[in-house]
Amino acid sequence: MHTTPRRPDNDSDATVQQLDRTLYDVPATWAEWGSHEPVRDGETRFHAIKLCHTYAFVTKRVSGSRANADERNQIHVLYEDPETGDRVERVYDASLIEAHAETIHIWSQHAEAPDGRMDYPGLPVMADGFGEGFLVVPRIVRRGGPESFAASVAVRDDEPRLSEGGN
């Protein structure tokens, strides 16, 4: 993976380092345990099919000798209408977790364990500067349980779709 620097249009003093995106299939447990938005008139259900983790380190010069820094972890989820193949993308904040397993323990109202926790699979972090032992999960899942992940979303019929190829 390589790093691509760019300058945002709104602030010439800021520098953003954005890593390439590696697509993964949505883990089966995320789809199984996740929620489904209600579909109203004029909307269609799209199901999560692919996702990726992006990491950005943003610095903004405050003065000649000072700068503010911010790390951003996000999960981009690609949703597809199984009938038409149309696709949309949603972006969610992510939690980066140091773990020495493929799962983390999270709280859930559906957990069968006496302590209310369950194992939840994370995505491996494939980014420069991170060694093995890091996982990423949707931040909302860490705070609200596995049912907080949107396994499917309701998409307005007039909402723009992604071009052919998905990204």
Give the number of domains in the chain. 1
Structure tokens at 102: 């493929």
How many beta carbons lie within 10 A of that of residue 28, not counting itself? 9
DSSP category for residue 134:
E
The runs of H, that is alpha helices, within the chain are 28-33, 139-144
CA distance 78 to 151: 10
Range of the domain at 22: 3-153
Structure tokens at 146: 């596995």
Residue 161 lies in a domain: no
49: left (phi over 0), alpha (psi -120 to 50) or beta: alpha
Tens digits of residue pLDDT in 122-152: 887 765 666 677 788 888 887 778 888 999 9
Residue 129 lies in a domain: yes
Mode of pairing for the β-strands spanning 150-156 and 35-36? parallel
Residue 159 lies in a domain: no
| 76 close to 91: Cβ distance less than 8 angstroms | yes
Residue 86 lies in a domain: yes
Residue 67 lies in a domain: yes
**Mean pLDDT, to the nearest integer, of 44-70?**
85
CA distance 84 to 93: 28
Residue 60 lies in a domain: yes
| 106 close to 147: Cβ distance less than 8 angstroms | no
Residue 145 lies in a domain: yes
Q: Is the pLDDT of residue 165 over 50?
A: no
With a pLDDT cut of 90, the percent of the chain lying above it is: 32
Q: Which residue has the higher pLDDT, 20 or 91?
A: 91
- pLDDT number for residue 113: 63
